Structure formats: C-alpha cells, structure tokens
Amino acid sequence: MKIGLIINIKRPDAFRVAKGVINWLTQDGDYHLVMESGTATTMGYEKLGADSIEMQGVDLILAMGGDGTLLHAVRVIEGKGIPILGINLGSLGFLTEVTEKELHSTLINILHGHYKIEKRMMISIKVIRQDSVPVRFKALNEAVITNSEIARMINLKVSIDSKYLTTYRADGLIISTPTGSTAYSLAAGGPIVVPQMKVLMLTPICPHTLTTRPMIIPESSKITVDVVSTDQSILTIDGQQAYSLELADRVEIERAEEETCLIKPQQRGFYEVLRNKLKWGGSIVE
C-alpha cells in the first residue's frame, strides 16, 4: 500500500505525531510512504519527498493538522477519489475527526480494511471574463466572493438557472456545499446541513438589507454571480486559493462531477461530531 502524508508542520505537535506514524508504518516494509517535498525536507525525510503527480498516485492520504490541512489534501489530489483520513491536531475540526489518542487504533482498523468511505459532493467554479475562462476551481467547502478592501460592501447580481434572484449588497457572498455548512457559512449565520444531503447554499455576509437570508437550493442548480461593484473583489476557494475579480466578471458555480472520499471512523456519526465540536450541552430528559 502506498500512503501519502500531508502534514501541517506549523502545528506544535505535528513533528512528533508524524514521526511516530512514519516510524510505525515503516517497521515491516509493507507500506510505501511519500510526502510533499517541502515537508519531507523540513522534517529530515528527503527520500520520502514526492511531487504532485506521485502524490496523486497513492492509495490513501493521511492529512495531519486541521480542517485546512484536509482541504489542502483535497486540492493536491485534484479529484482523483483517493480516500483521505483527517487527523485532528487542532481544537475544532469537523473534517479531521480522528484525535491523536485514536490515531493508532484507527490506523490499525483502516490497514485491515475495517472502515467506511463517505463521499462528499464538491462544487465546480469558473470565472468568465470577456467571453473567456481564465481560471477554473474545485471546492469541497465553499467559494467566497468579497470586496478586496477591508470593511467595504460589494454588489453581486445573482441568478439561479438563468433566473434573476437578487443583487446582494453585503460584505460578501458564500456559496457552499453541505460539507461547508459548518465552515465559513456557519460563522456567517448559515444553516447546518447534514453532509449527505445534495444541496447548495447561498449565505450573504453581513447583508445591508435585514430581510436578506441564507438560501438552500437543489444540487442541480447553476448559480451565476455577476460582479457589479466598481471596487476590486476577491474570489476565495476553500480558504486555500484566491483570484482577483474585475468589474463585469461572471462567476458560475455548480455541482462538480468529482467527489471527495473521506474515511470515517465507524464509531462516530455526524450528530455526535456536531454536538462535541460545537460543545452543545444539556442533559437528556426522560
């Protein structure tokens, strides 16, 4: 089995935890490990360094860090459908559920084939500028359009399936998947959506009109956003990539053909994760 390691070396415990995993998996020689070249050099494992093409040829990805690390892993594999296990070395983590204490037993189960795959829908984003398409993206969580200036509103004309919806006057607009409902969208007042649902969400950020509310629409919808602000704006993908937008640019968002495959611990469901991560309290009334 070929295993790819994607490690956030900025995390305080990342070196220690990652080295423990590497030493354990290389003891009997049954597993071939690779990691991103820069990380391999920093950690002193130059021989394990791999380019993006080799990283896309592994059987399994271990993403060690936080949710941002897992989102980076999704971008590295570029929709190849490689199973990803998220290992949480931070504090929250909706995507990286496995803790350091659970890591050893979870890996044993995975290496013996005792795990399940949860497929998560992604979105496809393209920018249209003067009848050309300068850039395309894929996202697991969301696409966000904001003003490039701090604390400045933006005007965004939105249509769904070619039918005009509204022109948002807000700090920005989030178009998210169900997986992304517990990310930026949640912080902006959007709804929590069970990841297996097949929908898309529009969540305005600090809208100027108080009657403007988040919307949930069918997964088959195509969302068109026209930039009508004269100020420069920014398109951000999963908090990982950014692209500068210009006046009259059009951004089209729809469900992607690709899906992200997450390895899910069998003992834990979404509602338990939600309860624990958001620290919902209260006792059970019988």
Question: Quick one: pLDDT band at residue 173, thresholds 50, 70, 90?
Answer: very high
pLDDT greater than 60 at residue 283: no
Give the integer Cα–Cα distance in Å for 121 and 200.
10
pLDDT in tens, 10-67: 988 899 999 999 999 988 778 999 999 999 999 999 999 999 999 999 999 999 999 9
Secondary structure class of 254 (helix, strand, coil) = strand
pLDDT of residue 267: 67
Q: What is the DSSP string of 138-171?
A: EESSEEEEEESSTT--EEEEEEETTEEEEEEEES
Query: What number is the average pLDDT over the span 99-128?
Result: 92
More confident residue, 142 or 231: 142
Cite the active site residues.
67
pTM for the whole structure? 0.92
For residues 149 and 120, the model is more confident at 120
pLDDT value at 231 more than 70: yes
The CA-based dihedral angle spanning residues 156, 72, 104, 115, taken in that order and rounded to the nearest 10 degrees:
60
Q: Residue 255 carries which side chain, given as an amino acid letter?
A: R
Average pLDDT over residues 133-159: 93
Structural domains in the chain? Answer: 2-115+265-277 (3.40.50.10330), 122-258 (2.60.200.30)
DSSP state of 54: H
- The C-alpha atoms of residue 270 and residue 94 are separated, in whole angstroms, by 9
Q: Read off the pLDDT band of 230 (50, 70, 90).
A: confident
At residue 152, does pLDDT exceed 60?
Answer: yes
